[in-house]
Amino acid sequence: MKINLDRLLTDIEKYAEYGKNQHGGVTRPSFSEADHSVRKLFINELEEMGLRVTIDGAGNIWGRHYRKGNKEGSIVIGSHLDSVPNGGKFDGPLGVLMAKEIVKTLMESNVTLDHDLEIISFTAEESNDFNLSTFGSRSFVGRLNAEMLKEARNSEGILLSEELEKVGGGLAQFPIMEDMRRDKKAFIELHIEQGQRLEDRDISMAVIDTVVGTYRSIVKVTGESNHSGTTMMDHRKDAFTAAAEMVLEVERYCKQFKDDVVGTVGKVEVFPNAANIIPGQVKFIFEVRGKKEEKLEHAVNRIQEVWQEIADRRQIEFIQEVLLDQKPVVFDKGIVNILQSTASEMNEPCLTLPSMAVHDAAHMASITRAAMVFVKSIGGKSHCPEEYSHPIDIEKAGNLILKGIINLDRHFLD
């Protein structure tokens, strides 16, 4: 039994027409016109397949395939259909459309599962105008509740609650999600890698066993502003050269760990930011991501010790405000093992990797057994029109999940 690759690829192209822009990319944020149309299409297709469609409070779309099996609850597969502005065809839709393809394949092959199978398309996974990324999954698992969201507005002042009602959800329906959670036995999300670890090793796919933790802080470095001509080099307290040394330390430290820890300073502001004034203050955002909690903590502490040495030597000061301190998420060992042994049965090489970015599965892991599968990305590109995965890799990953679900259903879940 195999997924129908041609049908899936046609589907991916069809969905990419919704929100297609003149740069060849897809602009389909949740609640946009393109999102409304793609939701309509998706719901119609699920209904045509004979699935029972439910839209929960967060506007997440569920399509349930009843098997009349003898075990309670459902196995859920899916991802998200929203995109970043000028994004690609694969980030999100690949997971949702593959879920649809897998259910179709099982139906055509007359395979009976003991559990129901459910397709999910989560709302607003990507960063969005409401500043609520992974909105749908966080709401579903109860990390966001109606009280927290009732005043949420986008940059145009439009209430999130109104947007939810337009897609069939609404804050009043949030409590129902509590009951819905109980019946989810497992969740598997297929996603493109968005990195180059698989390409570097020339392997099509990986089972994801962890989502890295993220530490993010805003660092304020204070020196002394002064005249750039009359202040001799020895008399300066240049906040920017100090910050530059601090930033280089982030890179130097993290480079030692290869794939395990990554560190970035992605945003910098220099004050007063004038050509003839020595910078008196610099603000930057420091981020470290790591797979293991201890390693991540150690990285943050060690980098800060070196920063202190830099500050002492240069006679500047720095303070930090923590913006985010998210622990790594460990996925379900049982599902990871089943997916790995399924890959072995198929004779397909398959790595086990951490995910360096947060996905809906990281939140779903708080309410059910969850794991992810990554497909090789070409050039590691994502969130851009060039985002691409080879059909052959997509096919292998799809078949892995298809067979993995059957193994999970029969031999693992009760």
Choice between 19 and 92, CB closer to Zn ion: 92
Choice between 94 and 400, CB closer to Zn ion: 94
Contact 302, 221 (CB under 8 A): no
Pairwise CA distance, residues 30 & 9, whole Å: 23
For residue 309, the minimal CB distance to Zn ion (Å) is 40
For residue 360, the minimal CB distance to Zn ion (Å) is 8
Q: Hey, which residues between 54 and 93 contact Zn ion (CB under 5 A)? A: 91-92
Q: What are the tokens at 189?
A: 């999300």
For residue 82, the minimal CB distance to Zn ion (Å) is 9
Choice between 29 and 92, CB closer to Zn ion: 92
Choice between 122 and 240, CB closer to Zn ion: 122
**Which residues lie closer than 8 Å to 104 by C-beta, 6 or more apart?**
4, 7, 49
Pairwise CA distance, residues 295 & 30, whole Å: 36
Choice between 91 and 393, CB closer to Zn ion: 91
For residue 125, the minimal CB distance to Zn ion (Å) is 5
For residue 92, the minimal CB distance to Zn ion (Å) is 4
Angle, in degrees to the nearest 10, between helices 293-314 and 239-255? 150
**Size of site (CB under 5 A) for Zn ion:** 2
Radius of gyration, alpha carbons of the chain:
24
For residue 194, the minimal CB distance to Zn ion (Å) is 8
For residue 94, the minimal CB distance to Zn ion (Å) is 9
Choice between 91 and 116, CB closer to Zn ion: 91
Helix (H, G, I), strand (E, B) or coil at 47: helix
For residue 81, the minimal CB distance to Zn ion (Å) is 10
Half-sphere exposure of 144 (CA within 13 A, CB side): 21
Closest CA to 92 of 170, 37, 24, 38: 38
Pairwise CA distance, residues 191 & 373, whole Å: 6
Choice between 11 and 91, CB closer to Zn ion: 91
Site for Zn ion contains 193 (CB under 5 A): no
Pairwise CA distance, residues 152 & 357, whole Å: 25
For residue 76, the minimal CB distance to Zn ion (Å) is 16
Helix (H, G, I), strand (E, B) or coil at 221: strand
Choice between 96 and 282, CB closer to Zn ion: 96
Q: E strands along 74-154, which residues?
A: 74-80, 116-122
Half-sphere exposure of 196 (CA within 13 A, CB side): 6
Angle (CA) 63 68 70, round 5°: 120
Choice between 73 and 93, CB closer to Zn ion: 93
Helix (H) or strand (E) holding 232: none
Residues in the chain: 414
Q: What are the tokens at 291?
A: 């797979």
Choice between 282 and 362, CB closer to Zn ion: 362
For residue 294, the minimal CB distance to Zn ion (Å) is 28
Pairwise CA distance, residues 139 & 364, whole Å: 10
Q: Hey, which residues between 92 and 121 contact Zn ion (CB under 5 A)? A: 92
- Phi, psi for 158 (deg, rounded to 5): -80, 135
Angle (CA) 128 401 260, round 5°: 60
Residues in contact with Zn ion by CB under 5 A are 91-92
